[in-house]
């Protein structure tokens, strides 16, 4: 039985939700793990959805944050330069096309340059509002990014539905008081409001009384 959600605006994560960038993320973070003497598989369990410096702080808690910020800048440059294997998530082009005339924002832990690069590499249109790493003071699971996206679109948190794939992103959406559609295999274990295998299972339509009707499944 499909789940129907009513909303006035949608807030969209990027990596893992709209864009499959796993190949790049794994290449870059495996190299970083080896340099730090860490097990790559353990690093990859932590990295998804967070800003890079937050991942580093979680894995190397005794290291000065100044070092993490410096290495994060290097990591962002590596990831931005590498688009090999970056592809749209199944259903993403049609999903974003359906949102073209409706309020929606991108809320991502990526930098603006990285977000623009990956969206361009997949030929996906950029939402009208971008909340990127530079625009928040705290990484997901902090709700700041989603709250900022809702405010810039002019809607209350309870009127927004978030689309996310990662544990920290789902936690951030819940902390913001928003409903969340979990997209893909990573999301299933983290109790989103509703879970779908991909965006191909989502239909978005204008509601007769205003707002949006999101049908999942």
Q: Is 159 a catalytic residue?
A: no
Of 13, 22, 159, 165, the active-site residue reads 13
Q: Which residue has the tokens 């290495």?
A: 71
The angle at the Cα of 146, spanning 130 to 29, to the nearest 5 degrees, equals 75
Report CA torsion sign: 70, 71, 76, 82. Answer: positive
CA–CA distance, 131 with 115 (Å, rounded to integer): 10
Q: Is 15 a catalytic residue?
A: yes
SS (H, E, C) 116-174: HHHHHHCCCCCCCEEECHHHCCCCCCCCHHHHHHHHHHCCCHHHEEEEECCHHHHHHHH
Write phi, then psi, for 209 (nearest 5 degrees). Answer: -90, 5
Of 15, 62, 90, 165, the active-site residue reads 15
* Residues noted as catalytic: 13, 15
């Amino acid at each position: 039985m499909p789940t129907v959600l009513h909303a006035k605006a949608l807030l969209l994560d990027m990596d893992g939700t709209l864009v499959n960038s796993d190949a790049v993320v794994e290449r870059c973070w495996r190299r970083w793990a080896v340099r730090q003497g860490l097990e790559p598989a353990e690093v990859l369990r932590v990295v998804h959805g967070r800003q890079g410096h937050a991942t580093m702080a979680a894995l190397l808690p005794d290291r000065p944050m100044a070092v993490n910020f410096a290495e994060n800048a290097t990591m962002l440059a590596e990831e931005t330069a590498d688009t090999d294997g970056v592809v749209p998530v199944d259903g993403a082009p049609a999903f974003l096309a359906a949102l073209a005339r409706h309020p929606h924002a991108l809320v991502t832990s990526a930098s603006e340059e990285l977000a623009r690069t990956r969206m361009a590499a997949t030929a996906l249109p950029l939402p009208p509002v971008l909340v990127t790493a530079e625009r928040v003071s705290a990484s997901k699971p902090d709700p700041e990014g989603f709250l900022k996206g809702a405010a810039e679109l002019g809607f209350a948190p309870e009127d927004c539905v978030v689309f996310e794939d990662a544990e920290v992103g789902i936690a951030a959406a819940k902390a913001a008081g928003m409903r969340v559609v979990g997209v893909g295999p990573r999301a299933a274990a983290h109790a989103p409001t509703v879970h779908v295998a991909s965006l191909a299972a989502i239909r978005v339509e204008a509601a007769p009384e205003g707002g949006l009707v999101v049908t999942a499944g």
